[in-house]
Structure 1
Amino acid sequence: MPIDAAKALAAEPRSTTITWGHKDVQLYHLGLGAGRPATDPDELRYTLESKLHVLPSFATVAGAGMGVVGGLSAPGIDVDLAAVLHGGQSITVHRPVPVHGEATSTSKVAAVHDKGKAAVLVLRTEAADADGPLWTSDAQIYVRGEGGFGGERGPSTRAELPDRDPDHVVERPVREEQALLYRLSGDWNPLHADPDFAKLAGFERPILHGLCTYGMTLKAVVDTLLDGDVTRVRSYATRFTGIVFPGETLRIRMWPAPGRVQVTVTAVERDDAPVLADTVVALN
């Protein structure tokens, strides 16, 4: 069987040194749609080096996001990339991410779940610098056709929404060229740029990166509810439920509560088709 769960879980973690600077952070923020309006003081926090802070979701692209790639090449993992889907993502930040950094990034297969017709790999990346831990990032990777090996199904990630209308609803447009800009942060999959490749994959045109939607959503929460204070974010988790096409509009619904915010994201132009679900931002 292409996935040997015991071998994958027993494999030694892989470590590499990653570095980043203000250009990487600014490029990432621009890829999320930051900088509109360009002179808005609230947007300059994302775009101007003298005022810059770092959105915690930057952890998914720091060092070009090599943690997931390393996990998929771990011992015991031999899968067809065409059968791989990014099912969910979570990040826990242990302290604010610095604008400039050098860290050791360590990746491993933290869990292998058996969903019957598919396997779910939890690929964990932990980053630490000279001052200690920075973040822990878990990517839930859904691999079609690789289940049925008798493993544990794993925990449910369903988050029950409050029985009321959302407290805040904001809309964020996705620019036509946004996927082309976001991919410069390290995800070069042609699915997000090449129309012919997208059609071979079953899509009418290139789609937006799920992690771009993920970052856009966190920015909307930080700007709407936290007065732009990125240090208030302790962790952020979501489940990817649908695609977004460049040029569409995200509708982001928020239910704040003590210590957390629950969120859903839909695509406005496709009758509120689900995009992100079971989304929770935990707060300091």
Structure 2
Amino acid sequence: MAIFQGLVGQTAGPLRRSWTESDAMLYALGVGAGQQDPMRELAWTTNNTEGVVQQVLPTFGIVLAQFGAFDEQLGDYDPALLLHGEQEIVVHRPVPVRGSISVLRTVTDVFDKGSGALVVSRWDAVDEESGKPLASTTSSVFVRGEGGFGGARGPSVSWEPPARPPDAEPRFTTAVDQALLYRLTGDHNPLHTDPVFAARGGFDRPILHGLCTYGITCRLLVNEFCGGDANLVRRMSGRFSAPVWPGEELVVSAWLTAPGEVAFRTANADGSVVLDRGAFGFARPSG
């Protein structure tokens, strides 16, 4: 079996990753910042606007940690059969507009789901200048056809949104070329650009990156609950539940459940949930 429990505990790295102000701005553009109104969200899309200090969207930390440093696969399988399961990022301190990090990847779990294997990995990024943790991100991927090896199925988590109308419901229409732009941030998976590769995965055309939907959702939540201050974000998690096609509208239903805590789910315009079991944590603005 190509995916097996012996992966658990394996590490890679530490490896070094650096970025500039332009990389951070490109990421923001990739998740739609300024697309609806170029004069909004200038803290994420410019670095020379009078009276505006450049910030970095926290989900850029996922790109820095997971892409560009680790290219090896975890086993011998068809990458077209791999689906993104869940994603979480914990932000230990705001991501600076430029810098370098040291990243260590650890495979934390491999679960046997019968029809496939679920591989869970964590990336820990340390700021090289200060030596302090910057961000930790955890991702699970489901590899179809690689189950049945007799491993544990893993925990089962139930999740329901609050039984009341959302406190906020921001929406954003993705561009038809959203995937082509987002891939420039470092996620070059051909599932999102190559029709032949997408067909091998069972899709009639390339789909939008799940992490693009994730970043768009984060951006909308920062605007709704943090007053546009990305430095207030502490963590975000969610489960990918359906594909998004470039050009589709996304609607985020968000419920404030406690001070600094939001439950959310993201759906497309017809109501199909694409990002589920969402949790968003932030420090409340002062004053």
Specify which of 55, 63, 73 is matched with residue 57 of structure 2. 55
What is the alpha-carbon distance in structure 1 between the residues aligned to residue 127 and residue 234 of structure 2? 18
Q: Secondary structure at the match of 1:214?
A: helix
What is the alpha-carbon distance in structure 2 between the residues aligned to residue 246 and residue 98 of structure 1? 29
Aligned length: 275
1:47-76 alpha-carbon deviations (Å, 9 max, x no partner)? 011431111100121167146644x34xxx
Specify which of 72, 78, 81 is matched with residue 80 of structure 1. 78
- Moved >6 Å (runs of 4+): none
**1:154 is the counterpart of 2:157:** no
Q: 1:263 is matched with which residue?
A: 264
**1:2 is the counterpart of 2:2:** yes
How big is the shift at 1:283? 2.2
Identity of aligned residues (%): 41
How big is the shift at 1:153? 2.0
- 1:1-284 matches, cutoff 5 A: 1-6=1-6, 8-35=7-34, 36-40=36-40, 43-50=41-48, 51-62=53-64, 65-66=67-68, 69-70=71-72, 72-73=73-74, 77-130=75-128, 131=130, 132-258=132-258, 259-268=260-269, 271-284=270-283
Q: Secondary structure at the match of 2:8?
A: helix
The farther-off stretch of 177-186 and 112-121 is 112-121
1:205–1:149 CA distance, 2 compared to 1 (3 A)? closer
5+ residue gaps, structure 1: none
Q: Secondary structure at the match of 1:165?
A: coil
1:216-238 alpha-carbon deviations (Å, 9 max, x no partner)? 00000000111012122111101
Q: Secondary structure at the match of 1:168?
A: coil
1:211–1:31 CA distance, 2 compared to 1 (3 A)? same
1:222-275 alpha-carbon deviations (Å, 9 max, x no partner)? 00111012122111101000111111100111101223111111110xx21121
Structure holding more helix per residue: 1
What is the alpha-carbon distance in structure 1 between the residues aligned to residue 240 and residue 147 of structure 2? 20
Contact 1:83–1:143 (CA<8 Å) still a contact in 2?
A: yes
Tell me which amino acid in the other structure corresponds to 1:260: E
5+ residue gaps, structure 2: none
Tell me which amino acid in the other structure corresponds to 1:17: R
Contact 1:263–1:280 (CA<8 Å) still a contact in 2?
A: yes
1:158–1:25 CA distance, 2 compared to 1 (3 A)? farther
What is the alpha-carbon distance in structure 2 between the residues aligned to residue 197 and residue 148 of structure 1? 25
| TM-score, normalised with respect to structure 1 | 0.91
What is the alpha-carbon distance in structure 1 between the residues aligned to residue 112 and residue 208 of structure 2? 28
Q: Secondary structure at the match of 1:169?
A: coil
